[in-house]
Amino acid sequence: MNVPRAEVLLRPAPLNLPLLLPSILPLPSSSVPAPLLPSHWLGRPAGPPRDLKGPLSAPPWEPQLVPALRPAGEAARRRRRRWRRRCVPGPLDLSFLTARSIHLSIHPWGSAMATFSRQEFFQQLLQGCLLPTAQQGLDQIWLLLAICLACRLLWRLGLPSYLKHASTVAGGFFSLYHFFQLHMVWVVLLSLLCYLVLFLCRHSSHRGVFLSVTILIYLLMGEMHMVDTVTWHKMRGAQMIVAMKAVSLSFDLDRGEVGAVPSPVEFMGYLYFVGTIVFGPWIPFHSYLQAVQGRPLSRRWLQKVARSLALALLCLVLSTCVGPYLFPYFIPLDGDRLLRNKKRKARWLRAYESAVSFHFSNYFVGFLSEATATLAGAGFTEEKDHLEWDLTVSKPLNVELPRSMVEVVTSWNLPMSYWLNNYVFKNALRLGTFSAVLVTYAASALLHGFSFHLAAVLLSLAFITYVEHVLRKRLARILSACVLSKRCPPDCSHQHRLGLGVRALNLLFGALAIFHLAYLGSLFDVDVDDTTEEQGYGMAYTVHKWSELSWASHWVTFGCWIFYRLIG
């Protein structure tokens, strides 16, 4: 295709970092897999570039454009779509290009964008995307990091405990206001409601159930549009953290793991702990109490913070500058020629691009939450002569190069995996295993918001992980081989452990897991219109995206289930 030339110069656009929170349903440590949610707490920038000093307005799940900042016209809409790459603007944002001669062409996947040759692309990548993305990411989070460090130093001063709790409440309130402004009132209302129920039921042995029902009603009312949809979506992430902490504390009280109902300032300090209130992760009540004790500063602590922050920024730039352009720049598959007569393959490559970009934006949130929680003094275990700062939220290698979908589920968000297993799945087991799986699925769906595409992904993953689990369990029994979803312990009784056939079968299931991830990740494509973003991804969008891929993952899962029944 002949394409006109334009005089343009690549200029990085300011980053408007969305509030991202981990949100995937992990697998309970039971023999039956639970459903998974590929968390979205991931989003896109909240609007056209603006002053970085201003507060963020992007909601953590489905960020909206700021209406007052929206340029008019279809041309502006196209510019915004190009601008809205995951987390930050892409390196080829034509709305900010002037005065350098490059070729304009059609992106291999069909959307108009500036396409460099591979050599030109890599020359522009460093200055046009990588460095600006990292710098602007730090510009957006430095204040939260400073508050976490200030609280950590304040707790070292030997203040009375109530002042320590009050200081973390103040830090949490300031952080919420910085990111959410007055919309934080819905989080505050939820926290007050939780303590009221906990106080009224202080003599009951079923505080966890009562509080869970209260939170369920509150969240359902919000989802049923008691509150403006856009406003409610902004607060989902912080509400999820508050709800998880309150529920875990109530069940710990019922089990006797926490002796008495905490005082109001202690309870609010736990809920609004500055290291976790914005980006997570969930931490148990005893970890919060250890954090406010003010443990000594150490080189290991500083190294952990620096490592997590560096990995967070690395994942941010990979999600923004590599994921969306994986083909053909980084993996040269000659995308134009590929698309000429093979649209189905191109759709799968695009789905994989979307999945990779989505995954790394999740890892960005996971590592950033590690950094903020550790910087504030949480996330350690006590060794004999030192503290081991070992908080781990995600394991990217287990997701990108998985052994199984079960491993993907458990490695996506480890703290939430523990929470769902310990406080939802185990408590629901009295209803039966299948009912417990359904309750776990419903709890995850409610925490992450009742969006059709999220519910569809959850339900699909419930079947995918379950079928994979039972099939590999049966194959392991029939073949006496180490082909279970999880790695066998060293003393397992299987006859075949490391043979070529065992390795080949495990690699086959690993490739199948990558196939499922690409299929499910296709729903998180960035090329959607503004109305879809504001109202949530509906049924028509979900059906359309999966229809483009011929419902392949569902058919493969059904085929695996048939095979499982035949070999039984």
Q: Specify whether the CB–CB gap between 176 and 184 falls below 8 A.
A: yes
DSSP symbols for 293-313: T-PPP-HHHHHHHHHHHHHHH
How far is residue 206's CA from residue 198's CA, in Å, rounded to a whole number? Answer: 10
Which one is catalytic: 183, 233, 448, 469? 448
Q: Specify whether the CB–CB gap between 423 and 485 falls below 8 A.
A: no
The DSSP secondary-structure symbol of 56 reads P
DSSP symbols for 203-240: T-S-HHHHHHHHHHHHHHHIIIIIS-HHHHHHHHHHHH
Q: Give residue 377's region: left, alpha or beta (phi > 0; psi -120 to 50).
A: left
**Annotation says 544 is catalytic:** no
Nearest CA-CA partner of 292 in 318, 314, 273, 305? 273
Rg (Cα) of the chain, in Å, rounded?
24
Nearest CA-CA partner of 470 in 428, 509, 426, 514? 509
How far is residue 509's CA from residue 286's CA, in Å, rounded to a whole number? Answer: 39
Mark out the alpha helices in 84-184 (DSSP H runs).
118-125, 131-154, 161-180
Q: Specify whether the CB–CB gap between 124 and 91 falls below 8 A.
A: yes
The one-letter code for the residue type at 19 is L
The two three-digit tokens of residue 424, written as one number = 């939802």
Catalytic residues: 448
